[in-house]
Amino acid sequence: MFAAIAAVALAIGVVNALSGAQDAAWRGDSYDIGRRLFWELSSIIVILLLVPILTLAVRRMRQAHGLAIRIGIAAVALLGFSAFHITGMVGLRKLLLWLAGGGYDFHFSPATVLYEFRKDAVTALLLGATLWLIESRRELRKAARVAASMPAAAQEQPSSDLIWLRDGTNRVRVAPRDILWVASAGNYIEYILANGTQHLIRGTLAATESELARFAIVRVHRTRLANLDRVSGVDFKPSGDFELTFDNGQTLGGSRRYRPAVASLGGRTAPV
């Protein structure tokens, strides 16, 4: 991955240097390809050294829950990338030219920093998108290898008493019996387990309802599903709403719209 990015970056740098030198010659200035290659390659070297930072940021973004968190990670990564790039590039040029008996003036000013930041933003965006695609492909290949290594019987007959909660690169296996209820949380689904564990998974309540219906986990509210096998009592309110009591003592409210879903609990639960 790093070698591919380095090859592309070096090729772009050489082309930019040749184009800049040719433009200068057409304007009547000196061709001076060596100086332009030095500017381009000193910048590219620092960018390549910063690729691990972008890789780490991309992986954190893929694991993060919520758009706001991902935007925050991207903003911090961009600012850090640009700051390190400008500092490293200027420092490298000053050092090499000092060793050669010359000097370098960055002409530091808000306009110069903004000029460099604009270029850094485009570079970070392109590198970040490339790394994102590479990470996606890597995960798909990993999943394919895991699936290929599984026995054929296991692939054809998945366990009926276990389910996988999947969100990006995260995989959590739970027994439906351990689920007390499932609640909608914006673009995510929150699983509440009997031992107090909670899992936040990206998805919709409608899709989750269809998946869990075979385990007697049904909708009892517009935003909640309940595991009827864990219900030890139900209290019907005069308003038509109701409250479920689970076998570990926790309670969950339900709305009258979904009262038929629990109407049969009278013969299977503790006194109502």
In angstroms, rounded to a whole number, what is the distance separating the alpha carbons of residues 149 and 145? 6
Mean pLDDT value across the chain = 84
Q: Is the pLDDT higher at 266 or at 7?
A: 7
Q: What is the DSSP letter of 160?
A: T
In angstroms, rounded to a whole number, what is the distance separating the alpha carbons of residues 42 and 182? 54
Q: Is the pLDDT higher at 58 or at 264?
A: 58
* Lowest model confidence (mean pLDDT) among 37-51, 65-79, 129-143: 129-143
pLDDT tens-digit readout, 137-191: 888 888 777 767 655 544 444 445 778 887 666 778 888 899 999 999 888 889 9
In angstroms, rounded to a whole number, what is the distance separating the alpha carbons of residues 106 and 228? 70
pLDDT tens-digit readout, 223-233: 999 999 999 98
In this prediction, residue 264 has a pLDDT band, given cuts at 50, 70 and 90, of: confident
In angstroms, rounded to a whole number, what is the distance separating the alpha carbons of residues 120 and 90? 14
- In the chain, the percentage of residues whose pLDDT exceeds 90 is 25
DSSP, residue by residue, 164-220: EEEETTEEEEE-GGGEEEEEEETTEEEEEETTS-EEEEES-HHHHHHHHGGGTEEEE
Write the CB contacts of 182 (distance below 8 Å, at least 6 apart in sequence). Answer: 189, 190, 191, 192, 205, 208, 212, 217, 224, 225
Q: What pLDDT, on a 0 to 100 scale, did the predictor assign at position 19?
A: 84
Q: What pLDDT, on a 0 to 100 scale, did the predictor assign at position 149?
A: 67
Is the pTM higher than 0.85? The answer reads no
Closest CA to 164 of 154, 173, 176, 177: 173
Residue with tokens 């290898």: 145
pLDDT tens-digit readout, 236-257: 899 889 999 999 899 999 999 9
Closest CA to 74 of 12, 5, 131: 131
Mean per-residue pLDDT, 45-50: 89
Q: Write out the two tokens for 208.
A: 């989750």
In this prediction, residue 77 has a pLDDT band, given cuts at 50, 70 and 90, of: very high
